[in-house]
Chain A
């Protein structure tokens, strides 16, 4: 029996723009499964359909094709939402409430008893580091504090599944690290985390599996290390030339490389995948170069992501300058 917590089968979402009634296909047959206990990253550029897919799964908008189950219950249904916690993208909450009152409201909606609500709220406020702001209205919260309040609200019912829509968006590096740590902590507690992001490093560093969605279609699903090929793409060499190096020395090095960039007195040299690195290093030394580092470059999730995005855009005839729209 499958231990899938989220099952999406050929999810489709089509809507019409308000005035011109133009038909927009936001999701075009999205299928994936999220297994119990894993951190699943939902990766895609802006406008790829990540948020639409999440909103469909959360019951915020109607699915126009396909179907989905959450924790064994069909979407949309109250049963599906009973054991999940959700953090919307750029969350906005009732700004006249304190974080404690917000969590109390959330707890009431889950039917939690008063004592349980207070105990859980106290735990979560401490856990997300908002004890110092307990007495403040949310109106006075910074973006990062609001995000943390939203995370606390998403966890008020001690959910089995936590769905986070762009949880690191707009956060500073410290805030992003705190969110990453929280996601890993949730995984350690046996919870399933499904989160969307377009920040590749975040997704790659904490996800057990990822799905790449572009143009409302899933392009790849799998473990990050399985998705990328282990073929050598090239080698990066860092060089420092001596003070007596001439223009001819530079020209000789450049002629042997695929690409050369000059950065603060150092040459960053890119060699093609098939290049003879030893021969190049010998050549560089002959021309007065001191080798600082040699880094083989394999395909990364970013390479795959960019390739998928560009391929999807090329297929739709979208020019490069419209990237990210």
Chain B
């Protein structure tokens, strides 16, 4: 089982490594970091803050967009190009194929996040700024977010076209990022419909805000990558949340994919 999943993951990694868009995204991220350097120099004593915020936002945003792109494209293209015929006719279970594709995407996204982080670290170093443990935790959280978003995209691509999957995944990404606002709506809105919709969204959308908490309040304390940040315990807890959601989404994707006809 592990060997078959690994074979699919490795092949997915190879396939993704040939997608030129990814190299474009990498260039964009390096560009965003360079912009952060320029913006930092123009700011009054906020050089480090601007550089870190830009860098981390770049990892989170571009990483998540890449995850959506890979998630909706890689599974669908197997069906559209009919490469899947030669694979699922081998003694591999459909769920192994889906998990293998996802594992391959996680590999690609891990390398990308590492490259994004290396670009940020390099530019911080050029300015005489160090990667602090807080920044390390923020990068780990961004990675958790990116792989959770990939699971969302794979889930949708198990049953819909790339366009619709992309729209749905983007919508969930956007909603998942504003969970504090949804909670506020549940708590304070006078409109019953708004409360019901917000409550429903909170129930069916992963809380992606957990992965982007710099500048927010966690457990009653203000946290920031520039000062006191979350503990590794928090990072592990947020990772657990992402893992559970990813696992649940993949299970449903596998069930749907198992029933698909390739005609």
Enumerate chain A interface residues (CB-CB to B < 8 A). Answer: 15, 26, 52, 55, 58-62, 78-79, 81-82, 84, 86, 88, 90-94, 96-97, 105-106, 108-111, 150, 153
Contacts and interface: CB of A to CB of B under 8 A. Distances in A.
B7 A59 contact: no
B91 A93 contact: no
B87 interface: yes
Interface residues of B, number: 24
Given A15-B261, A15-B263, A110 B90 contact: yes
B90 A109 contact: yes
A150 B90 CA distance: 13
Interface of B is mostly: loop
A86 B89 contact: yes
B86 interface: yes
B247 interface: no
Contacts of B226: none
Nearest to B11: A105
Given A55-B262, A88-B82, A150-B86, 15 more contacts: A55-B85, A58-B89, A60-B89, A60-B261, A62-B259, A84-B89, A86-B89, A91-B82, A91-B86, A92-B81, A92-B83, A96-B15, A106-B86, A109-B7, A153-B86
B244 interface: no
A52 B263 CA distance: 7
A88 B263 contact: no
A93 B81 CA distance: 8
Contact of B91 (A15, A52, A90, A110): A110
B89 A59 contact: yes
Contact of A60 (B3, B11, B91, B262): B262
A108 B7 contact: yes
Nearest to A90: B82
Contacts of B263: 15, 26, 52, 55, 60-61
- Taking each of B11, B14, B259, which has the highest tally of chain A beta carbons within 10 Å of its own beta carbon? B11
A88 B78 CA distance: 14
Contacts of B92: 78, 109
Given A88-B86, A108-B7, A109-B7, A82 B15 contact: no
Q: Which 6 A-B pairs have the closest CB atoms?
A: A108-B7, A61-B261, A109-B90, A88-B85, A86-B89, A60-B262
A74 B168 CA distance: 38
B89 A96 contact: no
A281 to B, nearest CB: 56
Nearest to B261: A61
B92 to A, nearest CB: 5
A94 B83 contact: yes
B93 A78 contact: yes
Nearest to B6: A108
Which among B3, B7, B86, B262 has the highest number of chain A CB atoms within 10 Å? B86
Contacts of B18: 96
A81 B262 contact: no
Contacts of A108: 3-4, 6-7
Interface string B251-263: 0000000010111
Nearest to B263: A61
A88 B79 CA distance: 13
B82 A92 contact: yes
A227 B91 CA distance: 36
A59 B262 CA distance: 9
Contact of A111 (B3, B88, B93, B262): B3
B90 A61 contact: no
A78 B86 CA distance: 14
B81 to A, nearest CB: 5
B81 A61 contact: no
A142 to B, nearest CB: 18
Contacts of B259: 62
A91 B85 contact: yes
Nearest to B94: A59
Contacts of B15: 94, 96
